[in-house]
């Protein structure tokens, strides 16, 4: 049986009371801790926080929030999505995660990303011109640090270390689980395979199946580099409400607003209604009823041969009750249904079930990729 | 009629995406980057099957149309003689994450493709494929089956307009000729046209209103008026 994992992600988007009163950053942070507790009770596998340094989001220090969540939960895994290692000090990052490792009894996970937002670079005194070099060098150091052993390092952007032990030490044989977040860069996929990191692809726009070439590249790279094939996953925005029309309207109000705000900074045009509806119908948004969202998640996980799905909830803020409803529906209805669909499509010892979803019967082959080769083929972005 | 050979310089997000579109449209497609062919070939074989991985030198030698899908800051390092006589489609944009916090390449009085044309003085440069995000390119080919998305271009060379128009059309977009290369500035980051993936009427509407935007006002301030 394949192991699947389902998570929730948030950037700590400033939320709203049900009467429309905005929550401030402090209130939003406490709300996120409450939401994590609910996610834990609902047996959701993972709760992961993004690091941002801008007005829309309350979370700039995810590990501190995760430390609080660790004390309020018992089983859910606690992650980042993502830690912008390039503009951080890998030694300090180790210290924070090793601390979290202790407080969360090993439930932590770090997800490294180059960061599609770049506010952290000027804030911490880094030059964006070094964007690539910073990521490459700090990744290399992180890969030594995460095992908790003594470290020797020499680099252009990191401190020279000569056989130095960083504290707190990890229990013998333990390390900090590390995943690499990938946008659309082929080199990022190759880097993940080189370091033996599982991959989560941010699929925030367009038909998710257009990412099939990157999955194929990952698989090919594991053969080329003689590395194990680790779980692949995706991260995507969603709103799950019993009333599909209402889910769409919440999305149109909040997801669009957030995309447009970010677009202003990046020079993107505002999202049109037509594009928004395309994202729900055929694209990357998981907005609708539990049944619709479950079917879509399962379909795309199968098409991309993925074992992990992280739903970004509360995008653009949203009312507290809608955030909670999404979490509740995701935990109680969507995840169980997706697991059911995926299990139904697994190869059986006996004859395959007749009702197995059509293109689900042949996971991992290139068939899915070539079939929808209407030159399928972002984001950020 | 034999189709021109398309050479895509750069094998990142944009280069591999354009390579897929080019192969799909039936063009002989070459792709190359700074990486050795041995390191790049198996990657391209997965991401853009059908495209031929070559060295940058072989690419400029064999291609009829070269598409620049490389960081803007790498353009000054190109050898103009390699590109002499070629049609060069410049898809590069100033992007802080890649090119650094300050744009030292181009300005509001000389757009980035004008600089590229000045550097590649023996080439026939057009600005094209720059205003739509790589992540949108393949979506847009299929999203409006009845109304293709506009792909704007600009060039000083009337002789290459038919070839540019044909390639943009074959790749699945509706070509929109903005005229001389200086008008390409209107497609650069910061402009309301940048990132725009819309059918022609919506694109033309945004174009008509471009000087009402902060970017348009910056152009007027920098140049003492609209682009003439």
pLDDT at residue A351 tops 80:
no
What's the full length of chain A, in residues?
A: 381
Q: Cβ(A189)–Cβ(A218) under 8 Å?
A: yes
Q: State the number of CA atoms in the 13 A half-sphere of B101 facing the CB.
A: 11
Q: Does B112 touch chain A (CB under 8 A)?
A: no
**Architecture, CATH, for domain A5-81+177-371:** Alpha-Beta Barrel (3.20)
Show residues of chain B in contact with A381, CB under 8 Å.
135
pLDDT recorded at residue A144: 96
pLDDT surpassing 70 at residue A366 = no
* SS3 call for A237: strand
Q: Phi and psi at residue A310, in whole multiples of 5°?
A: -115, 120
Chain A residues bordering chain B (beta-carbon distance below 8 Å)? 114, 118, 121-122, 127-129, 131-132, 183-187, 190, 205-207, 210, 213-214, 216-217, 220, 224, 263, 266-269, 272, 275, 278, 283, 373-381
**Is a pLDDT exceeding 50 seen at residue A377?**
no
Q: Find the distance separating the first CA and the last CA of chain A, reported in whole Å.
A: 33
Lowest pLDDT segment from A104-108, A215-219, B56-60, B139-143: B139-143
Region A272-280: what's the mean pLDDT? 93
Q: Is the peptide bond before A69 cis (omega within 30 degrees of 0)?
A: no
Is residue A134 scored above 60 in pLDDT? Answer: yes
pLDDT for the residue numbered A348: 59
Q: Would you call the peptide bond into A332 cis, given omega within 30 degrees of 0 as the criterion?
A: no
Strands of chain B, DSSP E: 6-9, 29-32, 52-53, 65-68, 87-90, 124-128, 150-155, 174-177
Percent of chain A with pLDDT over 90: 80
**In this predicted structure, what is the pLDDT of residue A163?**
98
- By mean pLDDT, which of A4-13, A123-132, B171-180 is the weakest? A123-132
**pLDDT > 70: what percent of chain A?**
91
Question: A with B: how many residue pairs have Cβ under 8 Å apart?
Answer: 108
Chain B hits for A263, Cβ within 8 Å: 195
Q: Is the pLDDT of residue A347 over 70?
A: no
- For residues B114 and A134, give the distance between their C-alpha atoms in angstroms, rounded to a whole number: 31
Q: DSSP string covering A14-39, please?
A: --B-TTSPBP-HHHHHHHHHHHHHHH
pLDDT of residue A17 exceeding 70? yes
Q: What is the pLDDT of residue A349?
A: 54
What is the number of other CB atoms lying within 10 angstroms of the CB of residue A345?
A: 23
pLDDT band for position A371 (cuts 50, 70, 90):
very low
pLDDT for residue B112: 97
Average confidence score pLDDT of chain A: 90
Q: Do A187 and B12 touch (CB under 8 A)?
A: yes
Whether residue A267 and residue B17 make contact (CB cut-off 8 A), yes or no, is no
Residue numbers in B near A84 (CB within 8 A): none
Q: Average pLDDT for residues B161-188, to the nearest whole number?
A: 97
Residue of A nearest to B18 (CA): A377
- Optimal mutation site among A131, A204, A269, A379, interface B, most CBs of chain B within 10 A: A269
Contacting residues for A3 by C-beta, under 8 A, at least 6 apart = A231, A307
What is chain B's alpha carbon radius of gyration, rounded to the nearest angstrom? 17
Whole-angstrom distance, CA of residue A237 vs CA of residue A254: 11
Is-contact B143 B32, C-beta < 8 A? no
Q: Is residue B195 predicted with pLDDT exceeding 80? A: yes
Q: Would you list the domain boundaries of chain A? A: 5-81+177-371
Q: Three-state SS for B85? A: coil
**According to the model, what pLDDT value does residue A372 have?**
31
Q: Which residues of A touch B17 (CB under 8 A)?
A: 377
- For residue A213, give the nearest of B21, B46, B135 by CB distance: B46
Pairing type for strands A46-49 and A5-10 reads parallel
pLDDT of residue A322: 98
Write out the DSSP string of A116-161: S--THHHHTT--GGGHHHHHHHHHHHHHHHTTTS-EEE--SSS--E
B98 contacts in chain A (CB < 8 Å): 131-132
A23/chain B closest Cα distance in angstroms: 31
A367 has a pLDDT exceeding 70: no
CA B90 to chain CA centroid, nearest Å: 4
Q: What is the pLDDT of residues A32-85, one digit of tens each?
A: 999 999 999 999 999 999 999 999 999 999 999 999 999 999 999 999 999 999
Residues in chain B closer than 8 A to A210 (CB atoms): 138-139
Q: Quick one: tokens of A366?
A: 């290139």
Q: Residue B114: pLDDT above 70? A: yes
The answer on pLDDT for A361 being more than 60 is no
How do residues B72-98 score in pLDDT, each as one tens digit?
A: 999 999 999 999 999 999 999 998 878
- A365 and A219 Cβ atoms separated by less than 8 Å: no
State the pLDDT confidence band at B1, using cuts at 50, 70 and 90.
low
- pLDDT value for B103: 92
Contact at 8 Å (CB) between B116 and B187?
no
For the cut 80, the answer to whether the pLDDT of residue A339 exceeds it is yes
- Locate the chain B residue with the closest alpha carbon to A263: B195
Model pLDDT for residues A251-267, shown as the tens digit of each residue:
999 999 999 988 777 76
Cβ distance B137 to A118 less than 8 Å, yes or no, reads no
- The stretch A204-223 carries a mean pLDDT of 94
Residue A370 has pLDDT above 50, yes or no: no
What digits encode the pLDDT tens for the residues A160-202? 999 999 999 999 999 999 999 998 889 999 999 999 999 999 9
CB contact at 8 A, B88 and B124: yes
Chain B interface, mutation test: which of A86, A127, A375, most B Cβ atoms within 10 Å?
A375
- Write down the pLDDT at residue B98: 82
Q: What is the DSSP letter of B199?
A: B
CB neighbour list of residue B4: distance below 8 Å, 6 or more residues apart = B27, B63, B64, B65, B87, B163, B167
**How many other CB atoms are found less than 10 A from the CB of residue A72?**
12
Could you report the predicted ipTM of this complex, rounded to two decimals?
0.87
Q: How far apart are alpha carbons A103 and A82 in whole angstroms?
A: 20
Q: Using a CB-CB distance cutoff of 8 angstroms, which residues of chain B are in contact with residue A376?
A: 138, 142
pLDDT for residue A184:
81
Nearest CA in chain A to B190: A267
Q: Is the pLDDT of residue B118 over 90?
A: yes
Assign residue A225 a region: left if phi > 0, alpha if psi is -120 to 50, beta otherwise? Answer: alpha
- List the helix and strand counts (H, then E) for chain B: 9, 8
Q: Give the closest of A114, A267, A278 to B195, CB-based.
A: A267
């Amino acid at each position: 049986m394949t192991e699947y994992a389902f998570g929730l992600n948030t950037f700590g988007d400033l939320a709203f009371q049900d009467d429309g009163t905005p929550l401030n950053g402090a209130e939003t942070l406490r709300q996120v801790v409450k939401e994590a507790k609910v996610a834990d009770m609902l047996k959701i596998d993972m709760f992961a926080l993004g690091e941002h340094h801008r007005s829309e989001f309350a979370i700039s220090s995810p590990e501190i929030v995760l430390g609080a969540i660790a004390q309020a939960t018992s089983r859910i895994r606690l992650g980042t999505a993502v830690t912008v290692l390039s503009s951080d000090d890998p030694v300090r990052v180790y210290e924070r995660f090793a601390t979290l490792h202790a407080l969360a009894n090993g439930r932590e996970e770090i997800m490294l990303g180059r960061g599609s937002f770049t506010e952290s670079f000027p804030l911490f005194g880094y030059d964006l011109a070094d964007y690539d070099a910073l990521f490459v060098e700090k990744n290399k150091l992180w890969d030594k640090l995460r095992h908790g052993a003594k470290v020797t390092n020499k680099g252009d952007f990191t401190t020279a270390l000569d056989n130095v032990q960083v504290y707190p030490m990890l229990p013998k044989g333990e390390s900090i689980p590390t995943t690499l977040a990938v946008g659309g860069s082929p080199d990022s996929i190759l880097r993940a395979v080189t370091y033996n990191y599982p991959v989560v692809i941010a699929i925030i726009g367009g038909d998710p199946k257009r990412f099939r070439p990157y999955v194929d590249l990952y698989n090919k790279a594991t053969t080329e580099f003689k590395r194990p094939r680790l779980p692949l996953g995706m991260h995507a925005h969603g709103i799950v409400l019993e009333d599909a029309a209402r889910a769409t309207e919440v999305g149109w109000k909040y997801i669009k607003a957030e995309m447009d705000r970010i677009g202003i900074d990046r020079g993107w045009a505002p999202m049109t209604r037509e594009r928004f509806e395309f994202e729900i119908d055929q694209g990357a948004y998981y907005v609708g009823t539990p049944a619709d969202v479950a079917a879509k998640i399962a379909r795309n996980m199968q098409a991309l041969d993925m074992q992990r799905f992280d739903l970004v909830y509360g995008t653009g803020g949203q009312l507290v009750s809608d955030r909670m409803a999404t979490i509740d529906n995701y935990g109680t209805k969507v995840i169980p249904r997706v697991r059911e669909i995926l299990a139904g499509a697994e190869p059986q010892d006996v004859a395959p079930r007749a009702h197995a979803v059509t293109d689900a019967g042949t996971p991992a082959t290139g068939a899915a990729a070539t079939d929808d080769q209407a030159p399928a083929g972002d984001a950020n972005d | 009629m034999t189709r021109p050979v398309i050479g895509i310089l750069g094998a990142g997000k944009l280069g591999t995406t354009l390579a897929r579109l080019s192969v799909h449209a039936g063009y002989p497609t070459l792709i190359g980057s700074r990486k050795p062919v041995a390191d790049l070939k198996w990657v391209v074989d997965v991401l853009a099957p059908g495209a031929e991985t070559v060295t940058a030198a072989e690419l400029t030698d064999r291609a009829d149309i070269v598409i620049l899908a490389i960081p803007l800051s790498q353009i000054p390092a190109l050898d103009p003689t390699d590109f002499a006589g070629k049609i060069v489609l410049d898809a590069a944009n100033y992007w802080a994450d890649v090119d650094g916090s300050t744009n030292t390449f181009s300005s509001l009085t000389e757009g980035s493709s004008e600089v590229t044309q000045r550097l590649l003085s023996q080439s026939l440069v057009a600005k094209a494929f720059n205003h739509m995000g790589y992540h949108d390119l393949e979506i847009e080919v299929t999203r409006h089956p009845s109304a293709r998305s506009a792909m704007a271009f600009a060039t000083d060379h009337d002789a290459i307009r038919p070839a540019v128009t044909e390639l943009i059309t074959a790749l699945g977009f509706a070509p929109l000729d903005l005229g001389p290369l200086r008008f390409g500035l209107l497609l650069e980051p910061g402009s309301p046209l940048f990132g725009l993936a819309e059918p022609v009427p919506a694109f033309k509407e945004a174009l008509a209103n471009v000087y009402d935007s902060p970017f348009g006002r910056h152009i007027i301030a920098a140049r003492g008026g609209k682009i003439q």
